Amino acid sequence: MSNEIFPLNACRKLHINNTAPELVEFAIRRNEGRLAASGAFCVETGQHTGRSVQDKFIVRDDDTEHAIWWDANRSMSEEQFDRLLHDFLAFAKLKDLFVQDLYAGADSEHQLPSRIFCEYAWHALFIRHLLRRPAADALDSFYPGFTVVDLPSFRAAPEYHGTRSETVIACNFTRKIVLIGGTSYAGEIKKSVFSYLNYRLPARGVMPMHCSANVGKDGKSAVFFGLSGTGKTTLSAEPSRTLLGDDEHGWSPSGIYNFEGGCYAKTIRLSKEAEPEIFAASSRFASVLENVAVDPISGQTNFDDGRLTENTRSAYPLEYISNASPTGVAGHPHNIVMLTADAFGVLPPIAKLTPAQAMYHFLSGYTAKVAGTEKGMGAEPQATFSTCFGAPFMPRHPSVYGNLLRKLIAEHKVDCWLVNTGWTGGKYGTGTRMPIKATRALLNAALSGDLKSQPMRVDPIFGFEVPLSLPGIDNKILNPRDTWADPKAYDQMAANLVGMFTRNFEKFASHVGPEVVAAGPVISREAAE
């Protein structure tokens, strides 16, 4: 039952595998948050309202030296980690901790038994929602293959522990443990588990994916890659399809499977009309609402209030979604959708990708952020390229994941699509957000197979195929240049975006075949005229 790295007797008192109601009671007694009128548990995370990417480290040792992409990951020595672990153990002896024994992965052949130590009861509730809960009889023989120790009130000493600040996420993949200190943002816990899976699984022939997934009534599954704000959770929670999960999945020789047992949805401006399933799940007992405003008198939540952060979140178990899959597994995908919120207004609402183009856009991981989504952003959109649509938790070189994905796409003859949920008719501030009804109609046509039979044009800049028409859709929206009042302004913006893509892809060029490099966008003479 014990784990020799961080034993169960490491702290003053342990609360082991409490249920959700018990954890809510603990959290209330400990003044960790409050109940909303709906029964959801509301918390504020303080200084950290999102992931602390610059404070994440991977221990550099003989096993990881040649396996980790060190250009994009910060290293920590074994000696520094040992000092940190020693101090975590000493700190834990003064604390009551909450332990949850959980599985990461719905596929029993590849699932990871994980033991999570939490200083806060609400963090234990959060991770109980987000990972998969073993059956009661399985807990008697549970032995962790991975451990996370989450101590938000611990403060690292940069000069002594080798950290950047008092906040630290230290990943020792060889010893299968992650230490989290100095941050109350609960998302760090689940991402630590997934970072380890993203390290472990490719060597086993399993593709780890930062994606959502769902299954149609015909049994055909679809995968949705996308960064925060692109619609990954919203579009996968389609009532007419069965939801597999909203964030992390694996693609094994048997098919795809959810890593999680819950959802972690972004809730800023969440509405019952636009996203009924997510709204309902976020309004149930024991759902965890991070940094969502709550009226101190009525207890009513205000999802439109972003004063604390635009990154307000809701964590809830999958069974809170009426159309969620009870098994978390499905067959090989028939469609892969790569989502981007192009705030420059250049990309079409949907495009069909060749396998080489799919790998190019997967490695690029493009979206654009707009003012208000992060502190310090100006009025202009900012391009973001997060390789594999999840660079901060993809520890191996992106080509490892890209080549594995391309192999699976070819083996299973998967149709690939690029969907722009961003702006049309101009960049952010001039144009308008892509109509959600148009996005859903085009996406449904793609997933059903109907879109492949529609007439297509080849985009002169990006080289992918774009439908010329679809019943019920304004054809004009399918050609972005036609939606701009000044077509020359579109051409200039397109040229700027192509330059961003090209510069970003330079670091991958030597790791991929020439056909993938050639799949990138080009400003040709024809496009410029």
Of 133, 313, 397, 427, the active-site residue reads 313
Active site annotation includes 191: yes
Contacts (Cβ under 8 Å, ≥6 apart) of 376 = none
Q: How deeply is 14 buried, as exposed, middle or buried, from its count of CB atoms within 10 A (0-12, 13-18, 19+)? A: middle
Active site annotation includes 96: no
Interatomic CA distance for residues 451 and 445, integer angstroms: 5
How far is the CA of 217 from the CAs of 238, 242, 324, 446, 525, in angstroms? Answer: 12, 8, 13, 15, 46
Active site annotation includes 210: yes
Of 87, 246, 247, 459, the active-site residue reads 247
Of 51, 110, 361, 406, the active-site residue reads 51
| CB-CB contact of 323 with 243 (8 Å) | yes
Closest CA to 69 of 368, 501, 511: 511
Of 48, 123, 200, 232, the active-site residue reads 232
Of 56, 132, 190, 210, the active-site residue reads 210
Three-state SS sequence of 38-97: CCCEEECCCCCCCCCHHHEEEECCCCCCCCCCCCCCEEECHHHHHHHHHHHHHHHCCCEE
Interatomic CA distance for residues 27 and 21, integer angstroms: 10
For residue 451, the SS3 value is: helix
Of 52, 233, 282, 421, the active-site residue reads 233
| CB-CB contact of 270 with 276 (8 Å) | no
- What token pair was written down for 240? 């007419």
Active site annotation includes 272: no
Active site annotation includes 232: yes
The two beta strands, 96-104 and 13-16, are parallel
Active site annotation includes 247: yes
Provide the annotated active-site residues: 51, 191, 210, 228, 232-233, 247, 313
